[in-house]
Amino acid sequence: MLIILPLLMFLLTFFDLLAQQSRRGPSISLRAVFLETSAFIGGYLMIFSEGLSLLRQLGQGGAAVCWGLGILITGGIGLQKGLLVKAWQILKGRWHKPEQSDLLFGGALVLILGLLLVIALLSPPNNNDSLQYHMSRVMHWAQDHSFALYATGFLPQLTSPIWSETAILNARLLWGNDQLANLVAWGSLLGCLVGVSAVAKLLGASRKGQWVAIAFAASLPMAILQATSPQTNLTAAFWLVILFYFVILSAQRNLFIEELLGLAFTFGLGLATKQTFYPYCVLPLLYFIVQQFIRNKPSRVIGHGLLIAAIVLALNLGFWERNLAAFGGPLGSPGSVESSTFTDLTPGGLAGKLVRNIFFNLDTPKDSLNARIVSGLKTLLGPIDPQMANFNLIAGWNYEDTAGNPLHLFLIPITWLLLLINRKRISSHLIVAFCLITIGLYLMLTIVVSAGNLDGRYQLPFFVACAPAFGVAIDVFQKKPLSITVIALLLIATLPWVLFNRTRPLIAMRPSTTPFTIPCLADCTAQSVLIEPPVRILFAGNIVLQGPYTLATSVIRKSSCRTIGLQIDSHDPEYLFWWLLDAPQSGIRLETIYPAQGLARYIDPNFKPCAILCTICRGKTRLHGLNLTADYSGRVQLYLGPGYNPDSNP
């Protein structure tokens, strides 16, 4: 299996860096090496993928060659310099019998991550963002062997940062299909747990305190739910945690060159992953810059700054350049960026926005109760914040687009209070700066990002970043029973979200007697992924579309037509058509023939579809010269036949 290639390169890079770190002294952090390795591998993936894209060779062969070349380089260096042997000796020397509590908590964590892994592997991507653009753009890239812009009706396919989807693309190229698409987010959760424990250790937490930090991050409902989907918030959180690690480390001592490069790659990868990383990274980077000027001469700081800037540019230049050429801005058109940026910076507007962000985490399973909460907030804040009129809470405690983190929302201010009360017992002075920066993260998100009623998920990196401080706050009591109790309760608290995901449940909540099913105790869910066919999981959030979409695509697959035009609404779940047609690996080519404004120039003039799938053509018997074959419940119309004419659209 070609998928072993990136795993092997990760392992070899880890060994090389571990052996290199051993030369710095006896204190060797395996977690730090893991974080450095993640940054280097993530950067390598981005750079070679952009290079292959320029050559239009971003296919299975090109990806396999690049991963193989990376293995030869890392393995060759490791063998030539004796790094692999040295690293193996270090690992053997570091082994010691774990404590009973380590085995208990480690076993519980493995169980949680293992159950999430099962869900991730059994479930096709099925949340709205994935169907609209995360996976749809991956399909276009796989078909085109390039990141080149293409015609689409949904602009985020082109304007959203691309790292997570690039990782998904590499996985599908090496595996052969999309089964591993959810593992990028799952791996990001694993990385976050490693990262928060490493940061907690830098802040002075004991082993138990580090476990508390892990339990805090692992029990975040939004993290659990998104860990089995292609959503990008967890990946952004992972890069933010690594950035925090290097920034806090730089306040203790000057970074070694590998660490400085790790920081640079992490910064660039965060920008390449999610727009919300831009406001999140400002304060950690400002703190890093201040620490550098305190510790070093200006010339050294400037040199390091230029190195970091060069790496960030190398990772993002291709994406920025494509958007600049097409839309006039690195993240899309100035108008679209402005529309997603919060502009009401009046005291009332800021207060209302902060309250809305907080209450996104407090929605209840009952629409009636949510309505009363919203009504009260509108009465209280409506006079000073006009945007409160559009605020709403949508019941969805177990759905990744609407779930909040209510328990952790209360634990965070408790953390700050405990640290303040016990400040004289805290060994590291850096905890003050860390808490101020994390508070600033939430304020930056409030000030910069214009969030809608489904955008509470943007807060996930902030919640993950708060985990180390919580570990220190509990650890400062130096009471082992307290730490163990907190860890146990948090890990137990993960179970509802692990087991009862609304669209990908292990145990279904339904009025049914099928296996792995219980009654609807807290809202109904889809059927269990353990028994449900993949196609049913795919449509779990769009069940009314399954019949029409399946019937339309089955007619195409039975025909000899292999060029399909898409004329769909901007927010239609495009990926459903790709999945049902098994494209592009089946040989079927899909192209949008009804793109968003300004994208018609990206339509291939040589593309002549023999079938058109349309979701907005109800009542039309003929489209672009093709006759209507069938209208499936008004949801999708199929036009099939020869004689496509792009200018004929009655």
CB contact at 8 A, 332 and 323 = yes
pLDDT in tens, 281-290: 999 999 999 9
For the cut 80, the answer to whether the pLDDT of residue 397 exceeds it is yes
Average pLDDT over residues 604-623: 95
Answer yes or no: is pLDDT of 225 > 90.
yes
Percent of the chain surpassing pLDDT 70: 99
Instruction: Summarize pLDDT for 188-210 with one digit per residue, the tens.
Output: 999 999 999 999 999 999 999 99
The residue assigned the tokens 């698409």 is 181
Mean pLDDT of 536-556: 96
pLDDT at 649: 64
Average pLDDT over residues 439-463: 89
Give residue 31's pLDDT.
Answer: 95
Report yes or no: 405 and 221 within 8 Å, Cβ to Cβ: yes
Pair of tokens at residue 563: 């060029």
Residue 458: pLDDT band (50, 70, 90) is very high
Nearest-CA neighbor of 445 among 278, 287, 331? 278
Q: Is the pLDDT of residue 532 over 60?
A: yes
**647 vs 19, residue with greater confidence:** 19
What span, in angstroms and rounded, lies between the C-alpha atoms of 256 and 25? 12
Note the pLDDT of residue 517: 94
- Radius of gyration for the alpha carbons in the chain, expressed in angstroms and rounded: 25
Q: Residue range 337-347: average pLDDT?
A: 83
Q: Label residue 298 exposed, middle or buried (CB < 10 Å: 0-12, 13-18, 19+).
A: exposed
Name the percent of the chain lying above pLDDT 90. Answer: 80
The whole-number pLDDT of residue 159 equals 96
More confidently predicted of 463 and 336? 463
- Of 434, 339, 349, nearest in space to 384 by CA: 349
pLDDT higher than 90, residue 335: no
Segment 502-507 mean pLDDT: 97
Cα–Cα distance list, 518 to 331, 434, 509, 510 (Å): 45, 44, 5, 6
Cα distance between the two ends of the chain: 50
Q: Is pLDDT of 325 > 60?
A: yes
pLDDT digit string, tens, across residues 289-310: 999 999 899 999 999 999 999 9
465-477 pLDDT per residue, tens: 999 999 999 999 8
pLDDT grade for 8, boundaries at 50, 70 and 90: very high
- pLDDT interval class at 600 (50, 70, 90): very high
Tell me the pLDDT tens digit for each residue of 373-393: 889 988 888 888 888 888 888
Residue 402: name the closest of 335, 476, 457 by CA.
457
Taking 80 as the threshold, does the pLDDT of residue 452 lie above it? no
Label residue 79 by pLDDT band (50, 70, 90). Answer: very high
What is residue 389's predicted lDDT score, i.e. its pLDDT?
A: 86
The reported pLDDT for the residue numbered 25 is: 65
What pLDDT is attached to residue 100?
Answer: 86
Which band of pLDDT confidence, cut at 50, 70 and 90, is reported for residue 524? very high
pLDDT exceeds cutoff 80 at 53: yes
Residue 371 has pLDDT above 90, yes or no: no
Tokens of 217: 């991050």
User: CA 593: distance to chain centroid?
Assistant: 29
Nearest 10 degrees: CA dihedral of 553, 558, 560, 566? 0
pLDDT of residue 370: 86
DSSP-based three-state secondary structure for 623: strand
Chain segment 630-650, per-residue pLDDT in tens: 999 999 999 999 999 988 765
Mean local confidence (pLDDT), 413-440: 90
**Residue 18: what pLDDT?**
94
Q: How confident is the model at residue 43 (pLDDT cuts 50, 70, 90)?
A: very high
Q: What is the pLDDT of residue 390?
A: 86
Q: What is the pLDDT of residue 80?
A: 93
Per-residue burial over 35-63, b if 16 or more Cβ lie within 10 Å, else e, is bbbbbbbbbbbbbbbbebbeeeebbbebb
Structure tokens at 618: 């109800």
The mean pLDDT of the chain is: 94
Judge whether 124 and 534 are in contact, CB under 8 Å.
yes
- With a cut of 80, say whether residue 24 has pLDDT above it: no
Which residues have C-beta within 8 Å of that of residue 10, sequence separation ≥ 6?
A: 37, 38, 41
